A and B are shown apart, each in its own frame.
Chain A
Amino acid sequence: MNAPLRRVGVVAMILFGLLFANLNWVQAYKADEYRNSDYNGRVQVAEYERERGKIVAGGKVLAQSKATNDDLKFQRTYPFKETYAHVIGYKPVNLGDIAVENYENEFLAGTSDSLFGERFRDMWRNSKSPGGNVLLTLSPTAQETAVRELANNNVGATRGAVIALNPRSGAVLAMASMPSFDPNPLVSHSTKAAQAAYDKLLADPKKPLLNRALAETFPPGSTFKVIDSAAALEAGLTAQSELTGGSTYKPPDTSQVIGNAPGVTCPNKITLKQALTVSCNTAFTRLAVEKLGADTLKRKAQDFGFGDGDLRVGQLDDGGVRVAASQTGDIKDPDGTDDLPALAQSAIGQANVRMTPLQGALMAATVANGGSQMRPYLVQVLQGPDLTTNHYTASPRELRRPVDPQVAATLQDMMISVVENGSGRKAQIDGYTVGGKTGTAQAGEGVENHGWFIGFVKKGDEPIAAVAVLLQNAGQGGSAEAARIAGQVMKSITRDRGNG
Chain B
Amino acid sequence: MTAPAASAPPPAQPGAAPRPRRGGRGRRNAELGLLVLAMVLVAAYGAAVQASMLDTITGTFWVPAAVLFLTFFALHLVVRFLAPHADPALLPAVALLNGLGVGFLRRLDLGGQEAARRVDYPVFAGVGGRQLAWTLISVVLAAALLVVVRDHRMVSRYAYTLGLVGIVLVITPAVLPSSISEVNHAKLWIRFGSFFSIQPGEFAKLALLSFFAYYLVRKREVLSLASKRFLGIDFPRGRDLGPVVAVWALSLLVLVFEKDLGTSLLYFGMFVVTLYIATERVSWLIIGLLLFSGGAFLAYLLGHSIGGPFLNFGQRVDTWLDPFADPYDKGWQLTQSLLGLGTGGLFGTGPGAGQPNLVEEVKNDFIFAGMGEEVGLFGLSALLVIYLLIVARGLRAGLAVRDSFGKLLAGGLSFTLGLQVFVIVGGVSGLIPLTGQTTPFLSAGGSSLMANWLLVAMLLRISDAAGRPAGEGAAGPVRSSGTGSAPMRLHGAPTEVINR
B-contacting residues of A (Cβ < 8 Å)?
Answer: 1-9, 11-13, 15-16, 18-20, 22-24, 26-28, 30-35, 37, 39-42, 45, 69-71, 73, 191-192, 195-196
Contact = CB atoms under 8 A, between A and B. Distances in A.
A200 B277 CA distance: 58
B11 interface: yes
A8 B411 contact: yes
Contacts of B340: 42
Given A1-B497, A4-B280, A15-B419, A34 B388 contact: no
Contact of A4 (B116, B277, B342): B277
A143 B71 CA distance: 69
B429 A26 contact: yes
A4 B276 contact: yes
A195 B327 CA distance: 11
Given A31-B343, A42-B340, 9 more contacts: A3-B280, A8-B273, A8-B277, A23-B377, A23-B429, A27-B344, A27-B377, A45-B353, A192-B328
Contacts of B392: 9, 12
B402 to A, nearest CB: 11
A31 B430 contact: no
Interface of B: 11-13, 16, 111, 114-116, 273, 276-278, 280, 324, 327-328, 335-336, 338-346, 353-355, 358, 372-373, 376-377, 380-381, 384, 387-388, 391-392, 395, 398-399, 404, 407-408, 411, 414-415, 418-419, 421-422, 425-426, 429-431, 497, 500
Contacts of A35: 339, 342-343, 345
6 contacts: A12-B392, A15-B422, A22-B426, A27-B377, A34-B342, A39-B339
A8 B430 CA distance: 24
A1 B8 CA distance: 13
A313 B391 CA distance: 64
B343 A5 contact: no
B280 A12 contact: no
B380 A27 contact: yes
Contacts of A6: 395, 399
A24 B324 CA distance: 19
A20 B384 contact: yes
A3 B12 contact: yes
| Interface pairs A-B: 6 shortest CB-CB | A34-B342, A69-B114, A27-B377, A40-B339, A22-B431, A31-B345
A69 B117 CA distance: 9
Contacts of A28: 345-346, 377
Nearest to A7: B276
B430 A15 contact: no
Given A1-B404, A19-B425, A13 B115 contact: no
Contacts of A33: 342
Contacts of A34: 338-339, 341-343
B395 A23 contact: no
A23 B342 contact: no
Contacts of A7: 276
A5 B393 CA distance: 12
B34 to A, nearest CB: 21
Residue picked from B340, B343, B377, B408, most chain A C-beta under 10 Å: B343
A13 B327 CA distance: 33
B280 A13 contact: no
A45 B358 CA distance: 13
Given A27-B345, A34-B342, A69 B116 contact: yes
Nearest to A12: B418
A2 B418 contact: no
B339 to A, nearest CB: 4
A129 to B, nearest CB: 17
A8 B276 contact: yes
Given A4-B276, A22-B429, A39 B376 contact: no
B118 to A, nearest CB: 10
B400 to A, nearest CB: 9
B426 to A, nearest CB: 6
A37 B355 CA distance: 15
A23 B500 contact: no
A50 to B, nearest CB: 15
A2 B335 CA distance: 42
Contacts of B339: 34-35, 37, 39-42
Contacts of B336: 39, 41
A29 to B, nearest CB: 9
Contacts of A40: 339, 342-343
A9 B338 CA distance: 29
A195 B332 CA distance: 13
Given A8-B276, A16-B418, A192-B328, A42 B355 contact: yes
A23 B381 contact: yes
A329 B49 CA distance: 64
Nearest to B376: A27
Contacts of B354: 42
A7 B377 CA distance: 27
A396 to B, nearest CB: 44
A31 B342 contact: yes
B395 A16 contact: no
A41 B337 CA distance: 12
B19 to A, nearest CB: 14
Contact of B377 (A12, A13, A24, A70): A24
A30 B430 CA distance: 12
Given A12-B415, A27-B376, A45 B342 contact: no
B372 A23 contact: yes
Given A22-B429, A23-B341, A34-B338, A8 B346 contact: no
A195 B280 CA distance: 55
B391 A12 contact: yes
Contacts of A18: 422, 426, 431
Contacts of B115: 69-71, 73
Contacts of B277: 1, 4-5, 8
